[in-house]
Amino acid sequence: MPSQFFGLNIAASGLRAANAAMNTTANNISNTNTDGYSRQKVEQEAADALRVFTTYGCAGAGVDTVAIERIRDEFYDRRYRDNEKLYGEYSQKNYYQSLVEQYLDDNGETGFSTLFSRMQANLQSVMTAAGTTTTKATYVASMTAITDYFNTMSINLQNLQNDINLEIRSTCDAINSIAEEVASLNEQINIVEMTGTTANDLRDTRDLLIDHLSEYISVSVRETDVIDENDPERDTGATRYEIWVAGGQCLVDTYSYNKLVCVARDEDESINQNDITGLYNIKVARSNYEEGSGKFISNFDLDNANIGGKLYGLLQMRDGNNQKFFNGTSGAWNPLTHTMTVSVSNDYLKDMAQCTLPAQGVIQIGARSYEYTGWTYDGDSNYTFTLDDTDDETGRAVDFSRLQSRTYDTVNIGKSIDYQGVPYYQAQMNEWIRNFAREVNNITTTGYTSTGEDGCYMLTGDRTVSSNTSPAQYTFEELTTTNYGYYYLTADNFAVYSAMEHNSNILATKSDITEGDDEFGNMKKLGNMFNSKEIFRGATSGEFLDKILADASLNTSNADTMEKTYSALRNTIGNQRLSTSGVDEDEEAANLVKFQNAYTLSSKVVQTLTEMYDQLILNTGV
């Protein structure tokens, strides 16, 4: 038979349960607008019944408050984070592609189409008075305006690449900061939960950090229980919490975490001809990494399609080459000259107008990387690279023994990036410049000046570094003989021949030396070339902007559409998450009344039992 005070214990358990539920409801209401907060619920179950030796067998013992649990659906968490990585990627692409589009846009004053039309109009003026210095000077000045346009575009794109590069570093810093916070939270959560309680608020904070992390980089998490090997059945309360990013790179493993470290490339480590110096490679290092120590766990694969998030969008904008990169097959190795012959098959590698190779850099032959100090092209399908025989870091001789016994290894410089980023636009400008300069120079060098002198080339490039023995600009012989193309010309150094800028009378206006000074046959050839010669992607010279602006506009439009799509999905999935884990004010108001009534009823039971005990103890006589 149970104690006479058994009912009082039952009522007390009801009071405790109702009080816990009321407090939890109050906490939910207080955090209605708290970002990342998950609605909490008191888990209750009937207390173990008391066995009594009576006809009814067992007596109910009240209620047990088992736990206060978060209401959260991991399925929606995964969907939200998968969407965040795509939203982060396309938000970056949209922002930077729109800047490229703005740079290319013709405002009617300084845009390419305006300048090119002005140059053509000035060419017509030369035809009407080919022997007049003023008309020729005006025409040369209009051609200089075009070269200045490309110089400015090159500076804009290089500045843009630098901005993207800096944002890559800040993104890696943000990822590292989140990793450090999560590792610290993991320890705090385990300390709390090993006592038998659930660290709801700490778990909310951790999940919110993972939400933020998923916008920077693709994320997957895994949480497993820690087993006591001596007593596998015992619930330790501790868990192992892992974060994997970029499709397989461990970022956090419970209390330890790794860092993404940005290491600037040296000047001789460029991948593309127009890359700025100091673009970052990313390395993976321990949390105790010290800058400059060089102690890394591994390289972070920059062309990994699983990177996701803002980091992936930034890398594609910075390095995107539309899958045009140097690749071939190794051939003969000359141990005396330290030269390696590489055969190529892609058509764009056989056209120097499309060449993006830096003068020196890093070449991967098979599984190993070597530095090269120069290269030549035979005009057919073979490149010859001169490899550096000294390791810059150690000062020791490079071991080339592997190259002596191997041929037909895969050779790469850079990686295939399937996106039209800054390097793509730089390469497109260079291709137009080289083809345009070649056609113009072919005409001006075969004509004659108005005074009957041999014509000279008109378009060239400024040297990056000039010496006493080298002119400030590339000579016509250098442009036409070295590596069989106008490789030296880029948007960065594109210029009009300086002698012609100072003296426009050396412009070859005549095609027939026997005619008078007003003969303009050569100018007519130039005009016909401008209007009919297809020099760039099946288009004439003046249609350059149409082609490249179409690329930028399409890329911007696609990125904008995708950003809006994933932004809408972000809201939709976020609302679905809130329907499960968010605080509903109406529901909590109803719970408030429900638990108040439960508390009142339990109090009434206590009051009733008190009256019974008074009657039993004070008013019952024997």
Position 86 pLDDT exceeds 60: yes
Measured on CA atoms in the order 582, 583, 585, 588, is the torsion positive or negative?
A: positive
- Cα separation, 312 vs 294, in Å, equals 24
Confidence of residue 585 (pLDDT cuts 50, 70, 90): very high
Mean pLDDT, all residues of the chain: 91
**What pLDDT, in 10s, does the model give residues 294-306?**
788 889 999 899 9
**pLDDT at residue 70 is higher than 90:** yes
What is the structure's pLDDT at 613?
84
pLDDT of 497 reads 96
CATH class of 326-413: mainly beta
At residue 448, the 3 state secondary structure works out as strand
Distance CA(185)–CA(202), nearest Å, equals 7
Non-local (6+) Cβ contacts of 505 within 8 A are 133, 136, 449, 450, 451
**Cβ contacts of residue 288 below 8 Å, gap of 6+?**
none
pLDDT of 446 strictly over 90: yes
pLDDT range class, residue 465, cuts 50, 70, 90: low
Q: Would you state the pLDDT for residue 145?
A: 96
Q: What does the pLDDT read at residue 448?
A: 94
- Indicate the DSSP class of residue 279: P
Q: How far apart are CA 332 and CA 606, in angstroms?
A: 97
pLDDT at 622 over 70: no
| pLDDT tens, position by position, 212-248 | 999 999 999 999 999 988 888 888 889 999 999 998 8
In which band, very low, low, confident or very high, does the pLDDT at 620 lie, cut at 50, 70 and 90? Answer: confident
User: What is residue 110's predicted lDDT score, i.e. its pLDDT?
Assistant: 85
- Amino acid residing at 370: Y
Look at residue 579 and tell me whether its pLDDT is greater than 70: yes
Q: Which tokens sit at 419?
A: 């996106």
CA 456 to CA 459: how far, in whole Å? 10
Task: Tell me: pLDDT of 277 over 90.
Answer: yes
Q: Domain residue spans in the chain? A: 6-70+582-618, 107-160+422-532, 326-413
The structure tokens listed for 333 are: 């190795």
Tokens of 195: 């006592």
Question: Do 138 and 129 meet the contact criterion of CB atoms below 8 Å apart?
Answer: no
Edge to edge, what strands does the sheet with 256-264 contain?
219-227, 235-245, 249-253, 256-264, 280-286, 298-299
Lowest average pLDDT, out of 66-80, 388-402, 578-592, goes to: 388-402
Give the Cα separation of 259 and 308 in Å (integer).
17
* Model pLDDT for residues 181-195, shown as the tens digit of each residue: 999 999 999 999 999
Nearest Cα neighbor of 440 from 550, 333, 535, 367 is 535
Query: Hey, is 34 helix, strand or coil?
Result: coil
Report the predicted TM-score, pTM, of the whole model to 2 decimal places: 0.91
